[in-house]
A = this chain, B = another copy of it.
Protein backbone atom coordinates (compact mmCIF):
# COMPACT_ATOMS: atom_id res chain seq x y z
CA UNK A 1 0.00 0.00 0.00
CA UNK A 2 2.42 2.70 -1.18
CA UNK A 3 -0.18 5.45 -0.81
CA UNK A 4 -0.63 4.87 2.93
CA UNK A 5 3.12 4.80 3.43
CA UNK A 6 3.41 8.12 1.60
CA UNK A 7 0.66 9.55 3.77
CA UNK A 8 2.40 8.53 6.98
CA UNK A 9 5.75 9.73 5.64
CA UNK A 10 4.31 13.10 4.70
CA UNK A 11 2.78 13.49 8.16
CA UNK A 12 6.11 12.63 9.76
CA UNK A 13 7.92 15.13 7.52
CA UNK A 14 5.48 17.80 8.66
CA UNK A 15 5.86 16.82 12.31
CA UNK A 16 9.65 17.08 12.00
CA UNK A 17 9.29 20.52 10.45
CA UNK A 18 7.18 21.47 13.46
CA UNK A 19 9.92 20.20 15.81
CA UNK A 20 12.52 22.34 14.06
CA UNK A 21 10.36 25.45 14.37
CA UNK A 22 9.68 24.71 18.05
CA UNK A 23 13.36 23.96 18.75
CA UNK A 24 14.33 27.25 17.10
CA UNK A 25 11.92 29.62 18.83
CA UNK A 26 9.45 27.91 21.07
CA UNK A 27 5.83 27.09 20.45
CA UNK A 28 4.01 30.16 21.74
CA UNK A 29 3.47 31.91 18.45
CA UNK A 30 3.63 28.80 16.31
CA UNK A 31 1.50 29.14 13.18
CA UNK A 32 0.40 26.59 10.58
CA UNK A 33 1.85 28.87 7.89
CA UNK A 34 5.30 28.78 9.50
CA UNK A 35 5.27 24.98 9.72
CA UNK A 36 4.17 24.66 6.08
CA UNK A 37 7.03 26.94 5.04
CA UNK A 38 9.55 24.91 7.06
CA UNK A 39 8.22 21.65 5.56
CA UNK A 40 8.45 23.14 2.04
CA UNK A 41 4.74 22.70 1.26
CA UNK A 42 1.81 25.06 0.84
CA UNK A 43 -0.55 25.94 3.69
CA UNK A 44 -3.32 24.17 1.77
CA UNK A 45 -1.28 20.96 1.56
CA UNK A 46 -0.56 21.15 5.30
CA UNK A 47 -4.25 21.63 6.06
CA UNK A 48 -4.99 18.53 3.98
CA UNK A 49 -3.09 16.52 6.60
CA UNK A 50 -3.90 18.49 9.76
CA UNK A 51 -7.12 20.44 10.21
CA UNK A 52 -5.91 22.50 13.15
CA UNK A 53 -2.90 23.60 15.18
CA UNK A 54 -4.08 21.35 18.06
CA UNK A 55 -4.28 18.30 15.72
CA UNK A 56 -0.80 18.96 14.38
CA UNK A 57 0.60 19.47 17.87
CA UNK A 58 -1.07 16.24 19.07
CA UNK A 59 0.41 14.20 16.20
CA UNK A 60 3.84 15.77 16.75
CA UNK A 61 3.59 14.94 20.49
CA UNK A 62 2.64 11.32 19.74
CA UNK A 63 5.51 10.96 17.30
CA UNK A 64 7.91 12.58 19.79
CA UNK A 65 6.69 10.09 22.40
CA UNK A 66 7.40 7.15 20.06
CA UNK A 67 10.88 8.48 19.24
CA UNK A 68 11.56 9.07 22.89
CA UNK A 69 10.46 5.51 23.76
CA UNK A 70 12.81 4.19 21.03
CA UNK A 71 15.72 6.17 22.49
CA UNK A 72 14.95 4.91 26.01
CA UNK A 73 14.71 1.36 24.60
CA UNK A 74 18.12 1.67 22.93
CA UNK A 75 19.73 3.00 26.11
CA UNK A 76 18.10 0.24 28.16
CA UNK A 77 19.54 -2.30 25.73
CA UNK A 78 23.01 -0.86 26.37
CA UNK A 79 22.53 -1.47 30.12
CA UNK A 80 22.72 -5.24 29.65
CA UNK A 81 20.38 -8.14 30.45
CA UNK A 82 19.24 -7.33 33.97
CA UNK A 83 19.84 -3.63 34.49
CA UNK A 84 19.77 -2.22 38.02
CA UNK A 85 16.54 -0.23 38.60
CA UNK A 86 18.64 2.81 39.52
CA UNK A 87 20.06 2.83 35.98
CA UNK A 88 16.64 2.21 34.44
CA UNK A 89 15.13 5.17 36.31
CA UNK A 90 18.11 7.34 35.39
CA UNK A 91 17.66 6.61 31.67
CA UNK A 92 13.93 7.39 31.88
CA UNK A 93 14.40 10.63 33.82
CA UNK A 94 17.31 11.97 31.79
CA UNK A 95 15.37 11.43 28.56
CA UNK A 96 12.57 13.65 29.89
CA UNK A 97 14.94 16.59 30.35
CA UNK A 98 15.99 18.99 27.56
CA UNK A 99 19.61 17.78 27.50
CA UNK A 100 19.90 17.07 23.76
CA UNK A 101 18.19 18.65 20.70
CA UNK A 102 15.48 15.97 20.24
CA UNK A 103 14.58 15.95 23.91
CA UNK A 104 14.59 19.76 23.92
CA UNK A 105 12.10 19.94 21.07
CA UNK A 106 9.89 17.38 22.82
CA UNK A 107 10.10 19.25 26.09
CA UNK A 108 9.22 22.59 24.45
CA UNK A 109 6.27 21.08 22.61
CA UNK A 110 5.17 19.49 25.82
CA UNK A 111 5.29 22.86 27.64
CA UNK A 112 3.16 24.44 24.90
CA UNK A 113 0.81 21.46 25.08
CA UNK A 114 0.33 21.88 28.84
CA UNK A 115 -0.52 25.57 28.42
CA UNK A 116 -2.97 24.66 25.64
CA UNK A 117 -4.49 22.02 27.95
CA UNK A 118 -5.53 24.71 30.44
CA UNK A 119 -8.26 25.94 28.15
CA UNK A 120 -8.91 22.94 25.88
CA UNK A 121 -10.59 19.91 27.44
CA UNK A 122 -9.56 17.47 24.71
CA UNK A 123 -5.90 18.47 24.87
CA UNK A 124 -6.12 18.32 28.69
CA UNK A 125 -7.42 14.74 28.54
CA UNK A 126 -4.77 13.63 26.02
CA UNK A 127 -1.89 15.29 27.86
CA UNK A 128 -3.13 13.85 31.17
CA UNK A 129 -3.35 10.33 29.68
CA UNK A 130 0.20 10.59 28.40
CA UNK A 131 1.51 11.71 31.79
CA UNK A 132 -0.46 9.00 33.62
CA UNK A 133 1.04 6.34 31.34
CA UNK A 134 4.53 7.69 31.99
CA UNK A 135 3.82 7.83 35.72
CA UNK A 136 2.63 4.19 35.70
CA UNK A 137 5.84 3.04 33.97
CA UNK A 138 8.03 4.76 36.57
CA UNK A 139 5.90 3.44 39.45
CA UNK A 140 6.17 -0.09 38.03
CA UNK A 141 9.99 0.12 38.11
CA UNK A 142 9.89 1.47 41.69
CA UNK A 143 7.52 -1.29 42.88
CA UNK A 144 9.65 -3.98 41.25
CA UNK A 145 12.75 -2.48 42.89
CA UNK A 146 11.07 -2.78 46.31
CA UNK A 147 9.94 -6.35 45.52
CA UNK A 148 13.50 -7.30 44.46
CA UNK A 149 15.06 -5.76 47.57
CA UNK A 150 16.87 -3.01 45.65
CA UNK A 151 14.82 -0.41 47.48
CA UNK A 152 14.22 -0.38 51.25
CA UNK A 153 10.83 -1.89 52.10
CA UNK A 154 9.74 1.28 53.92
CA UNK A 155 9.87 3.35 50.72
CA UNK A 156 6.37 4.30 49.58
CA UNK A 157 6.27 3.62 45.79
CA UNK A 158 3.63 6.30 45.17
CA UNK A 159 5.54 9.06 46.99
CA UNK A 160 8.87 8.00 45.46
CA UNK A 161 7.36 7.99 41.96
CA UNK A 162 5.94 11.46 42.50
CA UNK A 163 9.32 12.74 43.70
CA UNK A 164 11.08 11.20 40.68
CA UNK A 165 8.63 12.81 38.26
CA UNK A 166 8.97 16.16 40.02
CA UNK A 167 12.61 16.18 38.88
CA UNK A 168 11.26 17.23 35.46
CA UNK A 169 11.14 20.63 37.17
CA UNK A 170 14.76 20.93 36.00
CA UNK A 171 13.35 21.62 32.53
CA UNK A 172 12.66 25.30 33.23
CA UNK A 173 15.96 25.74 35.10
CA UNK A 174 17.82 24.31 32.10
CA UNK A 175 15.87 26.30 29.50
CA UNK A 176 16.61 29.57 31.31
CA UNK A 177 20.28 28.72 31.97
CA UNK A 178 19.76 28.88 35.72
CA UNK A 179 21.32 25.44 36.21
CA UNK A 180 23.64 23.77 33.70
CA UNK A 181 23.41 20.20 32.31
CA UNK A 182 26.27 18.88 34.48
CA UNK A 183 24.71 20.26 37.68
CA UNK A 184 21.35 18.73 36.74
CA UNK A 185 22.91 15.27 36.23
CA UNK A 186 24.74 15.60 39.57
CA UNK A 187 21.47 16.47 41.30
CA UNK A 188 19.57 13.61 39.63
CA UNK A 189 22.32 11.18 40.72
CA UNK A 190 22.21 12.55 44.27
CA UNK A 191 18.46 12.00 44.38
CA UNK A 192 18.81 8.43 43.06
CA UNK A 193 21.67 7.66 45.48
CA UNK A 194 19.52 8.83 48.38
CA UNK A 195 16.51 6.87 47.10
CA UNK A 196 18.51 3.63 46.83
CA UNK A 197 20.42 4.14 50.08
CA UNK A 198 19.93 1.23 52.49
CA UNK A 199 17.99 1.88 55.71
CA UNK A 200 20.49 3.47 58.07
CA UNK A 201 22.69 4.73 55.22
CA UNK A 202 23.45 8.41 54.71
CA UNK A 203 22.17 8.51 51.18
CA UNK A 204 25.47 9.81 49.89
CA UNK A 205 26.90 6.48 48.80
CA UNK A 206 24.98 5.00 45.92
CA UNK A 207 27.44 2.21 45.18
CA UNK A 208 27.55 1.01 48.77
CA UNK A 209 23.77 1.27 48.92
CA UNK A 210 23.41 -0.95 45.88
CA UNK A 211 25.88 -3.52 47.22
CA UNK A 212 24.07 -3.70 50.57
CA UNK A 213 20.62 -3.96 48.99
CA UNK A 214 21.55 -6.37 46.21
A residues contacting B by CB (< 8 A) are 24-29, 108, 111-112, 114-119, 124, 127-128, 131-132, 135, 152, 154, 156, 158-159, 162-163, 165-173, 175-179, 183-184, 186-187, 190-191, 194, 197, 199-204
Contacts and interface: CB of A to CB of B under 8 A. Distances in A.
Q: Which 9 A-B pairs have the closest CB atoms?
A: A169-B169, A26-B118, A25-B119, A166-B169, A162-B187, A168-B169, A28-B115, A128-B176, A131-B178
B119 A176 contact: no
Given A26-B116, A115-B111, A116-B28, A131 B176 contact: yes
Contacts of A29: 119
A202 B202 CA distance: 7
B118 A177 contact: no
Contacts of A184: 162
A128 B172 CA distance: 10
Contacts of A115: 26-28, 108, 111-112, 115
B183 A158 contact: yes
B175 A165 contact: no
Contact of A202 (B154, B159, B177, B178): B154
A130 to B, nearest CB: 9
Given A118-B26, A170-B169, A172-B168, A132 B178 contact: yes
A163 B183 CA distance: 10
Contacts of A186: 159, 162
Contacts of A190: 156, 159, 163
A109 to B, nearest CB: 11
A173 B178 contact: no
A159 B185 CA distance: 10
A163 B163 CA distance: 10
Contacts of A116: 26, 28
Nearest to A27: B115
A156 B197 CA distance: 17
A164 to B, nearest CB: 10
A173 B167 CA distance: 11
